[in-house]
Homo-oligomer: A and B are copies of this chain.
Amino acid sequence: MLIGHIDPEPGPEALESCSGHAHAPSPALPSAAELERAAGYLRAAAEPARLRVLVQLASGERCVSELADSSGEGLSTTSQRLKLLRAEGLVVRRREGKHVYYALSDHHIIDLVLGVIEHAREPLR
């Protein structure tokens, strides 16, 4: 499969204009703050253990000990993971009695998580 780029071909005469900067600049290059924030989302999800938590949360909220049990790791480790995910805005927290329930913060996160998992399941390029 090939590419579906906005600019499909580099141009017939644009073969040597590499050092000329004659390229059309990207439509709206994100600001440094936007890049930082977007990278933060990705970085938070970019670890197998945290990603697994996100996948679990995609089917509904869970409390910390449930997540700890299903991962086979300690409460401290799990709590630290959730803290990071929350700091980046991927999950939200809700206390109910002695338990604290975590859930994905919005549908964007669900899309991101399910999308990347689906991509990982596709046959290799």
Contact = CB atoms under 8 A, between A and B. Distances in A.
A51 B29 CA distance: 11
B112 A108 contact: no
A58 B99 CA distance: 44
A103 interface: yes
A66 B121 contact: no
Interface of A: 1, 3-7, 10, 15-19, 21, 23-24, 26-27, 29-30, 32, 34-39, 41-43, 45-48, 51-52, 55-56, 58-63, 65-66, 69-70, 89, 96-97, 99, 101, 103-108, 110-112, 115-117, 119-122, 124-125
Contacts of A29: 52, 55-56
Contacts of A111: 115
Nearest to A19: B65
Contacts of A60: 5-7, 10, 23-24
Contacts of A21: 63, 66, 69-70
